[in-house]
Amino acid sequence: GEALAVSARVAPLGSRLVLLLVEDLTEARRIEAVRRDFVANVSHELKTPVGALSLLSEAVMDASDDPEAVHRFAGRMQIEATRLTNLVQELIDLSRVQNDHPMEDAEPVSVDDLVAEAVDRCRHQANTKQITMATGAAPDLHIFGNRGQLAAALGNLVENAVNYSPARTRVGIAGRRIAAPGGNLIEISVTDQGIGIPERDRERIFERFYRVDPARSRATGGTGLGLSIVKHVAASHGGEVTVWSAEGQGSTFTLRLPEAVVGREGRAHASNDP
Ligand code: ADP
């Protein structure tokens, strides 16, 4: 009688354990698949510009008595080299944000500083396209986080806004404080009047290497890694990134991150971490 009672008590526990194990295996398999895809994608993205460079250098050799053609091919080689450089830089950024513990050297980071840095990063391209960058000062807003990672996140959003907008449009960057039950959040939104994002793609744009229009993205030097970096930084800071968009009208990306507050003892910390 005793043994039976015990096994009856153990049985439901056991089946739950088996279920957990199965879930674990499925999760492990999913992660493994993501990793395999990632390596395949990186290899493909590296192969494309390397292949083009190799063909172009052959073309240059064949055209050595035609200076105009040499010039044209060299120009295209430069574009491919830039693409390679961007890709390698974003891979470095991605591995950095994945491996670093951002909150280990978290500090109050001024929103005005982040915005100024992001605008600087795109100034050249914005000028070329005559895009107006509209920013408002928010001197009292501070996020608690890793300065480099936050700069990379906002920089990517502003870069995309400029990249995916036609000439003579406006990109707006605004910061504000919003009260939330767990502590104040700082919200930074980046609004463009660009091509917008079709509804069916809106979830997936945050995946690594996902691009709505690979040809267009590639032409602007895009790698498809930017938004996955933004998402990773937001999540590791206990925040989030969301998107609103209307096709043909524009998009707004919004980062929500914990506000930095200075405690009574003079030490800064996140508003949601007393
Ligand atoms: P990419 O290097 O291609 O810009 P991202 O990860 O930054 O990669 O973005 C993924 C895709 O999301 C882009 O290829 C583009 O199709 C779309 N996208 C991102 N930002 C915008 C935007 N502001 N307006 C329109 N499309 C955008």
**How high is the pLDDT of residue 247?**
95
What's the ipTM?
A: 0.98
Residues in the ligand 1 pocket, defined by CB under 6 Å: 156, 160-161, 164, 192, 194-197, 205, 210-213, 217, 222-228, 251
**How high is the pLDDT of residue 206?**
94
3 has a pLDDT exceeding 90: no
Distance, in Å, from the CA atom of 42 to the CA atom of 216, rounded to the nearest integer, reads 18
96 has a pLDDT exceeding 90: no
Using CA atoms of 41, 46, 119, 116 in order, give the dihedral in degrees to the nearest 10: 80
Confidence of residue 1 (pLDDT cuts 50, 70, 90): very low
Query: Which atom of ligand 1 is the closest one to the Cα of 227?
Result: 6
In terms of Cα–Cα distance, which of 218, 239, 225 is closest to 102?
A: 239
List the beta bridge partners of residue 221.
none
Confidence of residue 274 (pLDDT cuts 50, 70, 90): low
Query: 210 phi and psi, to 5 degrees?
Result: -80, 130
Query: Which atom of ligand 1 is the closest one to the Cα of 86?
Result: 2
pLDDT, tens digit (0-9, with 9 covering 90-100), for 164-201: 999 999 999 999 999 988 889 999 999 999 999 999 99
Task: Give, for 254, the enclosing helix (H) or strand (E).
Answer: strand 250-258
pLDDT, tens digit (0-9, with 9 covering 90-100), for 123-154: 999 999 999 999 988 889 999 999 989 999 99
Range of lowest pLDDT (18-22, 40-44, 204-208, 241-245): 18-22
Q: How would you classify residue 238: left for phi > 0, otherwise alpha for psi between -120 and 50, otherwise beta?
A: left
